[in-house]
Copies of this chain bind each other. A is one copy, B any other.
Amino acid sequence: MSAFVWPTRVYWEDTDGGGVVYYANYLRFLERARTEWLRAHGCSQSELAVDPGVLFSVVEVNIRYRRPARLDDLLLISSVPTQDGAACMIFKQRMLHGSETGELLAEAEVRIACVSASTFKPRRLPPALLREFS
């Protein structure tokens, strides 16, 4: 599967007193990109939460920070998901600087479980995603 690339911009809210993006906020950027991958593949999370009543819950994150992102930077986030059993997905994600040099800023693997919105117990991935991975 080829990578899905989503752009996002760094604003003041994302930076910290060190003058760079706060480390937890990289996870917000990665989640925006996964949300847009899902949307591009026919999965509206607000609709899935109502019918069939499932959420995607992050189970594990491994992230390596390579270079700092800074105010006003345009970031490009690539996402390559794979299925991991009936209820899980693993997203390999890379964050690149949106300049000509396209430096690698961060790399991450994010494991995500499909769970019941009410009980947080594992549930099968929605049919639209199972088709995507088959």
Contacts and interface: CB of A to CB of B under 8 A. Distances in A.
Given A27-B27, A31-B13, A72-B44, A63 B64 contact: no
Contacts of A133: none
A20 B120 CA distance: 10
Given A28-B13, A72-B46, A117 B18 contact: yes
Copies in the complex: 4
Q: Is the interface of A mostly helix, strand, loop or mixed?
A: mixed
26 contacts: A11-B32, A12-B16, A12-B17, A12-B18, A12-B22, A12-B35, A12-B45, A13-B22, A13-B32, A15-B17, A16-B17, A17-B19, A18-B49, A18-B57, A20-B120, A23-B58, A24-B25, A39-B72, A45-B71, A46-B70, A57-B68, A58-B65, A59-B64, A59-B65, A60-B63, A61-B61
